[in-house]
Structure 1
Amino acid sequence: MKNINKPTKGQALIILLFFTLIAVTICSASVIILITNSLSGTKLQQGSIAYEIAKSGIENAKLQLLRNPDYYGETVTIGDGTAIIEVSSDNGIFTITSSGKIGNYLRKTQITAAYQNYELTFSSIKEVY
């Protein structure tokens, strides 16, 4: 009987290439997950900054309304963003709406105020969607 030997040269190279391919796939997936998480964190931070800008606009409007009861609003630059303030009045009750914008992110807040016995009282701030 003949003994037939199959050539087995190169098996180690194929196994090495297989494990290298698996390692590259795992590393690529890790990098993609890292980038995705980083972008999500940036979006969350930008949204929070837009909300804080809107709150700053409300605080500015409170101060302006205390100084001038005929205040109607304005646009204020705060850092890299802007706060667009709108004040409407109905029988001595003021509604202050502030929109904080930074980049593509926009958040709105609202508060009401009323003059009673020569005092200006404010409700709690709320976010408007």
Structure 2
Amino acid sequence: MKRGQALTMLLFTVSISLMVVTASVMIIAANSLSVSHVESGSLAYHIAESGLEDALMRLLRDPAAAEGTLTVGLGQATVIVTGSDPLVVTSTGRLGNFVRSVRADVSYTGGIMTVSSWQEVFN
């Protein structure tokens, strides 16, 4: 080997290794952020579900008090009741910038509440 050739090879190897490590760290950071977004969206969905379940319970006790806002953990569920037969109960869960909504169609027959539909609403 000529003088200085080993240093050139070492610098080349170190720079390639540094690029590989940097790319790996960037991929891991992007995946971590993506997982965080999925988890926050899932939590917003569960907050909406909690709001809907709470609203159905309140509908059974006092139909006039079913609407409102419910704090669930770090998020909030906002419940709106529309219609008459069936009642359409919509709950929107918010956690930061993440928003998910669920809706249930509810009817009363002979004083018994029946939920005929329960689904996520996509806006």
Return the TM-score normalized by structure 1: 0.90
Counterpart of 1:104?
97
Report how many residues are paired.
Answer: 122
Contact 1:114–1:120, Cα closer than 8 Å, also in 2: yes
**Aligned with residue 83 of structure 2, among 76, 89, 97:** 89
- Cα distance in 1 between the residues matched to 2:79 and 2:53: 10
Tell me, which stretches of 5 or more residues in structure 2 are unaligned?
Answer: none
Matched, 1:114 2:107: yes
Counterpart of 2:26?
32
Tell me, which stretches of 5 or more residues in structure 1 are unaligned?
Answer: 1-7
Counterpart of 1:21?
15
- Cα distance in 2 between the residues matched to 1:15 and 1:53: 57
One-letter amino acid of the counterpart of residue 41, structure 2? G
Q: For residues 28-66 of structure 1, what are the alpha-carbon distances to aligned partners after superposition, in whole Å with 9 as ceiling and x for unaligned? A: 000000000100000000000000000000000000000
- Cα distance in 1 between the residues matched to 2:96 and 2:63: 32
Find the residue that maps to 2:58 and give its secondary structure.
helix
One-letter amino acid of the counterpart of residue 117, structure 1? G
Return the TM-score normalized by structure 2: 0.94
- Cα distance in 1 between the residues matched to 2:65 and 2:117: 20
Contact 1:71–1:87, Cα closer than 8 Å, also in 2: no
Find the residue that maps to 2:64 and give its secondary structure.
coil
Q: Which structure has more helix as a fraction of its residues?
A: 2
- Cα distance in 1 between the residues matched to 2:83 and 2:34: 39
Contact 1:47–1:106, Cα closer than 8 Å, also in 2: yes
Percentage of matched positions with identical amino acids: 40
> What is the RMSD computed on CA atoms of the aligned residues?
1.3
- Deviating above 6 A after TM superposition, structure 1's stretches of 4 or more consecutive aligned residues are none
Counterpart of 1:45?
39
**Aligned with residue 65 of structure 1, among 40, 59, 78:** 59
Larger radius of gyration: 1
Find the residue that maps to 1:125 and give its secondary structure.
strand
